[in-house]
Amino acid sequence: MNKIRTLISKHWRVAVSYAVIIIVPGILFLLQLAKKPAHLSLAEINNLRQAVNWHDIINNPINLPLHILERLAFYIAPHSILMLRLPSVIIGIGIICMLLGVVRHWYGLKAAVLTCILLSTSSLFLADARQATAAILMFGLVLLLASRSMHSSKKIIPFAAAIVALAIALYVPGFIWFIGISLIWQWRYVQRRLKLIKIWQSVCLFSVSLILILPLLWSIIHIPSILYNLFGLPNHINFFSILTNLYHIPMSIFIQSSLLPSQLIPHVPVLNIFEIVMFVLGLYSLWYFRKSERFKVLCGLSAIAIVLIAIGGPVSISLLIPIIYIVITIGIFYMLENWLYIFPINPIARTIGIIVLSCAVAFSCWYHLNTYYVAWQHDPATQAVFNKSISNI
């Protein structure tokens, strides 16, 4: 009994945090899922057609984790928009949970919860998590961050989970670059870690990983052109297009979005003014710790993501969003720490600072929720995109 009490007293905050992070985004993602939008977009139709039968899924296993869930949805309720969009919701909640684990490992529980709240209420994340497209998988860069946190553990289960996560991530366009560079960078550590586990565990781990990537290997052998999607590359690389895409990345995030109407209101930036200011503060704070490994990891992932987005392949700007919100959270805590440092004793000033910053965070969340559930839903461009019926699949 004493052990149970000790376990509860030690982990109840983490358990409550995960419960909140599952329930709150779950409500936001499921709220009128079949009615907002009430019809399907062409992108949803094309994505769902790839999951109609197992033959198509095996022949083109790109985005396999999502297509398997969508195939199960077809079995359960093939004529339900809610059911067909549910796989994206499940993956979205999983990404939020992984983000909680990553940021908690780096910056603590409070920062982790705040990051998850900001990301889960982001209008872009809401749009991608509530559609039957593979766009939500672009946020899966968190999966690689989580796998990196797990394989640093000395226990076999987290290390095995990290290897499995990396195998699954291979099916997302462009992620092979992140996985390959990460393994090269930490190859010596991986070798030392493999030497510490038992032979039968190594065999099991290798067998499971091989089974997971077998559909991908089979598809590459029979359809070599799938390598373009796998590496996140376009069929033709145009230098002028690269420069244009490089220009649109910061413009879309901070000033004027060029994203599709199916993801965001035309010309509305991804971040609001509060998030932009906190992002700048976060970068300023990170610069003081530029020699730290986490700084190098964030910079390395961001650089690869920007290159992949710039060359114009199947990779979208959503790849950068989790990293951006981690930096935003760093900026929020940097501002709060400096305020409390200036007023170490005065309780009124300390309380005012906490209340003002909390209100700013709440306003930021409200802005995104209002943008998605009200403005985006009733925008003529959105209604023009979501005009297909489920019979078109």
Q: What is the pLDDT of residue 153?
A: 56
The two tokens of residue 351 are 């309380």
Q: H-type helices in the chain, by residue range?
A: 2-30, 42-49, 54-59, 64-76, 81-107, 109-120, 123-129, 141-150, 156-169, 175-185, 187-196, 199-222, 226-230, 239-250, 273-287, 293-310, 321-342, 347-370, 377-378, 380-385
Q: What is the pLDDT of residue 140?
A: 84
Q: What is the pLDDT of residue 7?
A: 59
Of the candidates 85, 124, 365, 125, the residue with the CA atom closest to the CA atom of residue 264: 124
Which range among 116-120, 182-186, 241-245, 320-324 shows the weakest confidence by mean pLDDT?
Answer: 182-186
CB count in 10 Å sphere of residue 138: 24
Q: What is the pLDDT of residue 2?
A: 63
Arithmetic mean of pLDDT over the chain: 86
Per-residue confidence band for 266, with pLDDT thresholds at 50, 70 and 90: confident
Using CA atoms, how far apart are residues 152 and 154, in angstroms rounded to an integer?
A: 7
Q: With beta carbons less than 8 A apart as the criterion, state whether 191 and 151 touch.
A: no
- Express each pLDDT in 102-144 by its tens digit: 888 888 888 888 889 999 999 999 999 999 999 999 998 877 7
- Express each pLDDT in 373-393 by its tens digit: 989 988 888 888 998 888 777
Residue % of the chain over a pLDDT of 90:
33
The residue-averaged pLDDT of 31-37 equals 87
Give me the residue spans of the domains in the chain.
2-392
With 80 as the cut, is the pLDDT of residue 159 above it? no
Specify the residue for token string 């999502």. Answer: 66
Which range among 164-178, 195-209, 316-330 shows the weakest confidence by mean pLDDT?
Answer: 195-209
**Predicted TM-score of the model (pTM):** 0.91
Q: What is the pLDDT of residue 327?
A: 93
CB-count exposure of residue 161 (10 Å: 0-12, 13-18, 19+): middle
The two tokens of residue 73 are 């949805």
Residue % of the chain over a pLDDT of 70:
94
Per-residue confidence band for 235, with pLDDT thresholds at 50, 70 and 90: confident
The two tokens of residue 340 are 């409390």
- Express each pLDDT in 285-339 by its tens digit: 988 888 887 888 888 889 999 999 999 888 889 999 999 999 999 999 888 888 8
Residues in Cβ contact with 127 at an 8 Å cutoff, skipping those fewer than 6 apart: 135, 262, 263, 264, 372, 376
Per-residue confidence band for 148, with pLDDT thresholds at 50, 70 and 90: low
